[in-house]
């Protein structure tokens, strides 16, 4: 049972059926009450009409015995005097309740007895009260019992004060309500069955794409083939948006996995070369100590150490390592870095103005070092380093007078293990991680790193980081 109602389709069907059932019960109750009230009012109107006809006779007849009471078995009538005595009643009335007078036969001085006052024409005309009082009761007429709506009308006549009680049968009301209730008891379950069936079918049709998405996701999970995509229904509803979002997630996941695999493959490839070279040199040195190339072994070791450090930093960045909140002055930072570098054939020109940022000193040092390495590697004779503040941003620019970066390759150079110059050796060009690390660190610090053409025709790398004031705001 719990498994059945764990289905969205079953819950939707049950929910729709319950809502319709409640609505039908409420509507049915309202219809029955309205029908009963309407028919009861009609019975009351008939009773009031009969009572007023008898009351009119009381104003005109010479004696109570001349009253012409209705002989309809559906309209029992009683006439009661001011003392509460029954003075006239329907001929076949056998039992009555609800009028306050249980008598069904007039006593002595009742029907057929003339009034004590003689000629009614010598008296003033009486009047009939405009108000009618209604009560519910029952009566038996000529052996037939039933429920009635009684109307009581007071009359002041020359012969005295009287109250006329007349009844209107409620059999029509009871029959109509019973018929309507029977129809509802038969029709409501059928209607609920139709609603439940239609809801089940409509929900199954609506959720069919979800079943297809679930099946495809299960197949993707089993096959580990992230190139597959779930089917997208040709609609504009929530399920279509779910399918599109799922495919977007799969695309992002595929990209991430492929990037991870490519990263592992490239890292393995890059590590293999210095390790193999170092091992060869050590093996040669072990067999022939006089042939050991210590400088080459140290160089390969340093290269291996730098590559391992780059890979570890990328791993930490991918894991979401926070940059920290330390304050760094880019001008002082750049000045310190430049003082520790050998110039070789490249002239380094610095235009350093104070520009403070918040972040990791170690990561920012790696960015500056990577940008300077890249500039010195490609410059013909000059590298320019500039720091400045630009509104809410601290800006660091590193430019060279080399061949520059083609416009179509200006985003690609920030990908990992990318080297545009395929003819360049690894010793000259590095592993292709420096600019990728610099871009990742810039993004982690809330900034940007872009490349464009320098005034001298080479490449100009611009690093923009938010100043501490803008970060606080």
Of the ranges 188-192, 241-245, 430-434, which one carries the lowest mean pLDDT score? 430-434
Give the C-alpha separation, 355 to 352, whole Å. Answer: 9
SS3 call for 397: strand
SS3 call for 244: helix
Full DSSP string of 115-183: PTT--GGGS---EE-S--EEEEEEEEETTEEEEEEEEEEEEEETTEEEEEEEEEE-HHHHHHHHHHHHH
Say whether pLDDT at 111 is over 60.
no
* Helix 294-318 with 434-444: angle, nearest 10 deg: 30
pLDDT band at 109 (very low <50, low <70, confident <90, very high): very low
pLDDT band at 5 (very low <50, low <70, confident <90, very high): low
Q: What is the mean pLDDT of residues 249-262?
A: 83
Q: Is the pTM higher than 0.75?
A: no
Give the C-alpha separation, 387 to 404, whole Å. Answer: 21
Say whether pLDDT at 108 is over 70.
no
Distance between start and end Cα atoms, the chain: 56
On average, the pLDDT of the chain sits at 83
pLDDT band at 165 (very low <50, low <70, confident <90, very high): very high
Say whether pLDDT at 404 is over 50.
yes
- Return the higher-pLDDT residue of 92 and 166: 166
Q: What is the mean pLDDT of residues 80-102?
A: 89
Q: What is the mean pLDDT of residues 272-290?
A: 80
In whole angstroms, how large is the CA radius of gyration of the chain? 52
Q: What is the pLDDT of residue 431?
A: 63
Range of 101-105, 133-137, 403-407 with top mean pLDDT = 133-137
| Residue 39: HSE in the Cβ half-sphere, 13 Å Cα cutoff | 18
Asked if 144 and 94 touch (Cβ cutoff 8 Å), the reply is no
Give the C-alpha separation, 446 to 458, whole Å. Answer: 27
Query: How many other CB atoms sit within 10 Å of the CB of residue 460?
Result: 20
Q: What is the mean pLDDT of residues 236-248?
A: 88
Q: What is the mean pLDDT of residues 3-31?
A: 83
Query: How many other CB atoms sit within 10 Å of the CB of residue 290?
Result: 5
Q: At 462, which helix (H) or strand (E)?
A: strand 459-466
Give the C-alpha separation, 153 to 80, whole Å. Answer: 10
Of the ranges 91-100, 128-137, 159-168, 231-240, which one carries the lowest mean pLDDT score? 231-240
Query: How many other CB atoms sit within 10 Å of the CB of residue 63?
Result: 13
| 342-374 pLDDT, tens digit each | 766 788 888 999 988 988 888 888 899 889 988
Burial of residue 73 (number of CB atoms within 10 Å: 0-12, 13-18, 19+): middle
Domains along the chain with CATH numbers: 13-116+123-176 (3.30.450), 238-314 (1.10.287), 322-472 (3.30.565.10)
Q: What is the pLDDT of residue 235?
A: 80
Query: How many other CB atoms sit within 10 Å of the CB of residue 306?
Result: 15
pLDDT band at 430 (very low <50, low <70, confident <90, very high): low
Range of 104-108, 118-122, 461-465 with top mean pLDDT = 461-465
Backbone dihedral angles phi then psi of residue 450, each to the nearest 5 degrees: -130, 165
SS3 call for 225: coil
Alpha helices (runs of H) in 321-360, residue ranges in sequence order? 330-339
| 295-304 pLDDT, tens digit each | 777 877 877 8
Torsion of CA 41, 47, 53, 54, to 10 degrees: -150
Say whether pLDDT at 437 is over 90.
no
Q: What is the pLDDT of residue 385?
A: 93
Backbone dihedral angles phi then psi of residue 158, each to the nearest 5 degrees: -60, -20
- Which tokens is 280 given? 């060869």
């Amino acid at each position: 049972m719990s498994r059945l109602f764990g289905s969205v389709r079953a819950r939707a069907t049950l929910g729709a059926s319950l809502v319709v059932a409640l609505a039908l019960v409420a509507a049915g109750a309202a219809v029955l009450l309205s029908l009963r009230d309407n028919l009861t009012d009609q019975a009351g109107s008939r009773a009031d009409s009969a009572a007023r006809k008898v009351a009119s006779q009381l104003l005109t007849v010479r004696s109570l015995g001349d009253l012409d009471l209705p002989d309809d078995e559906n309209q029992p009538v009683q006439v009661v005097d001011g003392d509460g005595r029954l003075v006239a009643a329907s001929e076949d009335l056998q039992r009555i309740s609800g009028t306050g007078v249980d008598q069904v036969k007039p006593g002595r001085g009742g029907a057929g007895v003339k009034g004590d006052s003689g000629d009614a024409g010598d008296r003033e005309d009486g009047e009939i009260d405009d108000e009618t009082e209604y009560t519910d009761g029952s009566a038996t007429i000529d052996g037939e019992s039933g429920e009635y709506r009684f109307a009581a009308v007071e009359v002041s006549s020359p012969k005295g004060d009287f109250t006329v009680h007349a009844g209107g049968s409620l059999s029509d009301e009871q029959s109509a309500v019973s018929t309507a209730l029977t129809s509802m008891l038969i029709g409501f379950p059928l209607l609920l069955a139709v609603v439940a069936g239609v809801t089940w079918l409509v929900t199954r049709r609506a959720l069919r794409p979800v079943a297809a998405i679930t099946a495809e996701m299960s197949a993707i999970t089993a096959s580990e083939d992230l190139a597959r995509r779930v089917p997208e229904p040709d609609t504009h509803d929530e399920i279509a948006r779910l399918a599109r979002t799922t495919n977007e997630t799969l695309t992002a996941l595929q990209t991430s996995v492929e990037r991870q695999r490519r990263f592992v493959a490239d890292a393995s490839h890059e590590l293999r070369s210095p390790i193999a070279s170092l091992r060869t040199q050590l093996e040669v040195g072990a067999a022939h100590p006089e042939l050991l190339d210590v400088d080459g072994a140290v160089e390969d070791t340093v290269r291996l150490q730098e590559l391992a450090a780059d890979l570890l930093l990328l791993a930490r960045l991918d894991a979401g390592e926070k940059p920290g909140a330390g304050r760094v002055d880019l001008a002082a930072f750049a000045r310190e870095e430049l003082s520790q570098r050998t110039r070789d054939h490249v002239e380094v020109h610095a235009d350093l103005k104070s520009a403070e940022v918040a972040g990791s000193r170690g990561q920012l040092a790696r960015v500056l070092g990577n940008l300077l390495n890249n500039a010195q590697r490609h410059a013909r004779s000059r590298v320019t380093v500039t720091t400045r503040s630009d509104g809410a941003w601290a800006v660091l620019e590193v430019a060279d007078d080399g061949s520059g970066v083609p416009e179509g390759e200006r985003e690609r150079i920030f990908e990992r293990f990318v080297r545009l110059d395929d003819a360049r050796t690894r010793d000259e060009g590095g592993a292709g991680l420096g600019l990728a690390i610099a871009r990742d660190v810039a993004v982690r610090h809330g900034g940007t790193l872009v490349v464009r053409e320098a005034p001298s025709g080479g490449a100009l790398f611009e690093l923009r980081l938010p100043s501490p004031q803008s970060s606080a705001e």
